[in-house]
Structure 1
Amino acid sequence: MVHGGEEALMRQYAIGDEIGRGRFGTVRRCISNATGEALALKTTPKAPLRDPLDLALAEQEPKLHLLASSPPCSPHLVALHAAFDDADAVHLVVDLCAGGDLFTLLSARGGRLPEREAAGLAAQLASALAACHRRGVAHRDVKPDNLLFDAATGALKLADFGSAEWFGDGRRMSGLVGTPYYVAPEVVAGREYGEKVDVWSAGVVLYVMLSGTVPFYGATVPEIFEAVLRGNLRFPPRAFAGVSPEAKDLMRRMLCKDVSRRLSAEQVLRHPWIASCGSDAVAG
């Protein structure tokens, strides 16, 4: 899958304009010289990665992304087409999702979505996570910015495996990885953890879609982490006016501090609210 460095990349793909920028790298359009297919190129320079953990994650990203998205691939995962690695950077060629991301959609729609639409997106996210987890890959950075839309089909796709980790064979994970508002309490607490950290993050995404606000708020990162550790889940009447008891029940089961009682991604897909409102949105 890794095809050499930047010279090999330039032989195989025509590189276009920048279409996105993240914490460590850039995303540009590219065209396959062999097929003419429009794709996206994610480039992560190694020089800014001073933390050994960040560098290790960048270098293992191609392997874990390929493991999660290789055929038969979930239609709700951004697929990895090729990877190039050299002394200066890691370059990943992935699906081009030109329909924007969930963060942008929420911003354009006043911060929240109708319940049925939110259920459909939650079902697609749970389907993506279940596919990852079946292959022993935890995403560890589920948030609206990493949920992209396919412009042709409208399907939601989980992107950016830069924080992913393998948990196969019962291996436990560790390390403070993720985005403060979305990270699970066991991660903040510094304990070893499993793949259900992704379900917690997906629960926060669902809460945001239905209310336009985060469930655990703080003005600073330490305050956010304190709120996450308390895990005091509430549904303010003004923010949740009209949201069904079934939707609130699912969020309680996803945002459950007791990991043994927290739902798995597969169980989220079988929850009555998803089955009644969102199951039609899951492709494949």
Structure 2
Amino acid sequence: MFYDGEEALMRQYSVGDEIGRGRFGTVRRCHSNATGEALALKTTPKAALHDPLDLALAEQEPKLHLLASSPPCSPHLVALHAAFDDANAVHLVVDLCTGGDLLSLLSARGLRLPEREAAGLAAQLASTLAACHRRVVAHCDVKPDNLHFELKLADFGSAEWFGDGRPMSGLVGTPYYVAPGVVAGREYGEKVDVWSAGVVLYMMLSGAMPFYGATAPEIFEAVLRGNLRFPLRAFAGVSPEAKDLMRRMLCKDVSRRLSAEQALRHPWIASCGGDAVAG
């Protein structure tokens, strides 16, 4: 599973064209030389990681991704097949997802989804986060760009291990989706993922962001205020049960915020999206 050097990578996999590019690296098609299985190769050059925290996250990503995706793996999580580390880069071989991401789906569908469809996707996401949290892994960057179809949670580059009651800290994640405790610089736990999932759900149902700003500092200020509203025009026809779930996921008080397991058992998920959960 874990190997040293790019030579080992080239022996086991044939690497093809680039299919994606992120803040720190690239994603290319590849296939297994042994089985012919089509996969994806995520490469993060270490030279691009100027912040020591970014380098530490890149080097721990394979371990946490493996812990989260080892069998029995949630069907809604991108699995890690192999990891290669050399002096220049970290290479991860993962499931190939060709169906686009949630952001692309929302753009194609007019920025909002029918309530039952949103509930099904929310159920799959809550189920996957609950599975990660049972393995004491917090994703820490849940957002539409990291949700591929058929729905699979990807990119553990910001993930943290919180076993033995270990608190997490540091500003990680994406401004619109990051939880208040992260912005405030406090220690936090795995419920930051539930907050982010709540933002995703709000976006699926309304086509808007619950906490908005023109710049990152303005977004962070809105997140810290946590003034959650449901404008009538954006939420026309959305059920009270769906709004109740979002209030409980986007709750500033962490002690009152739902866990992923509790979100999965919420009556709205059970009635509208329960059939969508597999595995």
- TM-score w.r.t. the length of structure 2 is 0.99
Give the superposition deviation at 1:283.
1.2
Give the superposition deviation at 1:6.
1.0
Q: Distance in 2 between matches of 1:168 and 1:103?
A: 32
Give the superposition deviation at 1:22.
0.6
Deviations for 1:193-213, whole angstroms, at most 9, x for unmatched residues?
000000000000000000000
Deviations for 1:43-75, whole angstroms, at most 9, x for unmatched residues?
000001000000000000000000000001111
Deviations for 1:150-203, whole angstroms, at most 9, x for unmatched residues?
3xxxxx110000000000111100000000000000000000000000000000
Give the superposition deviation at 1:3.
1.2
Partner of 2:199: 204
Structure 1 runs of 4+ off > 6 angstroms? none
3-state SS, counterpart of residue 278 of structure 1: helix
Q: Distance in 1 between matches of 2:145 and 2:50?
A: 24
Q: Distance in 2 between matches of 1:168 and 1:77?
A: 20
Q: Distance in 2 between matches of 1:45 and 1:131?
A: 30
Deviations for 1:225-274, whole angstroms, at most 9, x for unmatched residues?
00000000000000000000000000000000000000000000100000
Q: Distance in 1 between matches of 2:215 and 2:185?
A: 19
Q: Distance in 2 between matches of 1:246 and 1:218?
A: 27
Residue ranges of structure 2 left out of the alignment (5+ in a row): none
Give the superposition deviation at 1:2.
1.3
Q: Distance in 2 between matches of 1:84 and 1:206?
A: 35
Deviations for 1:72-127, whole angstroms, at most 9, x for unmatched residues?
11111100000000010000000111111001000111101000000000000001
Q: Distance in 1 between matches of 2:18 and 2:115?
A: 34
Give matches, 1:1-284, under 5 Å.
Answer: 1-150=1-150, 156-284=151-279
Give the superposition deviation at 1:5.
1.5
Q: Distance in 2 between matches of 1:82 and 1:48?
A: 22
Q: Distance in 2 between matches of 1:74 and 1:27?
A: 22
Give the superposition deviation at 1:27.
0.6
Q: Distance in 1 between matches of 2:191 and 2:71?
A: 24
Q: Distance in 2 between matches of 1:13 and 1:149?
A: 24
Q: Distance in 2 between matches of 1:110 and 1:271?
A: 27
3-state SS, counterpart of residue 128 of structure 1: helix
Query: Please, what is the CA RMSD of the aligned residues?
Result: 0.5
3-state SS, counterpart of residue 29 of structure 1: strand
Aligned length: 279
- TM-score w.r.t. the length of structure 1 is 0.98
Q: Distance in 2 between matches of 1:5 and 1:79?
A: 21
Report % sequence identity. 90
Q: Distance in 1 between matches of 2:274 and 2:183?
A: 32
Q: Distance in 2 between matches of 1:108 and 1:15?
A: 30
3-state SS, counterpart of residue 276 of structure 1: helix
Residue ranges of structure 1 left out of the alignment (5+ in a row): 151-155
Q: Distance in 2 between matches of 1:5 and 1:134?
A: 32
Q: Distance in 1 between matches of 2:45 and 2:149?
A: 26
Q: Distance in 2 between matches of 1:18 and 1:123?
A: 32
Give the superposition deviation at 1:215.
0.1
